[in-house]
Structure 1
């Protein structure tokens, strides 16, 4: 999934953080959003690709889009 023009309501910068911190920061930020709002997460941990897919499945939040560029991964999660 790739969509460089995905609109978002809030952003979490998780660059330089290793698992499980990007997920924990995203989980905390999602609690501050209303249903239907989108969180953008920027991470540098290669394992975050797998982690965010699993997180979306387990929590019911939708992984709207993801993209990789220059050893950074960007995830867009829509709160359920």
Structure 2
């Protein structure tokens, strides 16, 4: 999951959850189409990687999941989680015209 020291102290900010307590999944689609997008803007470590893991659990292998996050720790935590789970990071870039945001896209492994 997370590398030691990657997470800062929580400031009690947004958790990136919907009113029902589920991760905020902005868009879902099939493997052949656009990635499922998880909006973790405002969520503090470790929530972005937890939100991606929860979204990934409901998707078939080969699916793409894109995380949008403002917590800089996500840039380290999500690739570490992906490596441990056998997934592949296919893109890790700043959001267009939003230097404070990162977009990380992961292709889920066929084996979970």
- TM-score (normalizing by structure 2): 0.62
Can you give the 5+ residue segments of structure 2 that lack an aligned partner in the other structure? 1-32
Can you give the 5+ residue segments of structure 1 that lack an aligned partner in the other structure? 1-6
Q: Paired residue for 1:73?
A: 102
> Whose helix proportion is higher, 1 or 2?
1
Q: Is it true that 1:44 corresponds to 2:48 in the alignment?
A: no
Report which of the two structures shows the higher radius of gyration computed on alpha carbons.
Answer: 2
Q: Which runs of 4+ in 1 moved over 3 A?
A: none
The alignment's C-alpha RMSD in Å is 1.2
- TM-score (normalizing by structure 1): 0.85
In the TM superposition, residue 33 of structure 1 has moved relative to its aligned partner by 1.0
Q: In the alignment, which of 18, 42, 49 is matched to residue 16 of structure 1?
A: 42
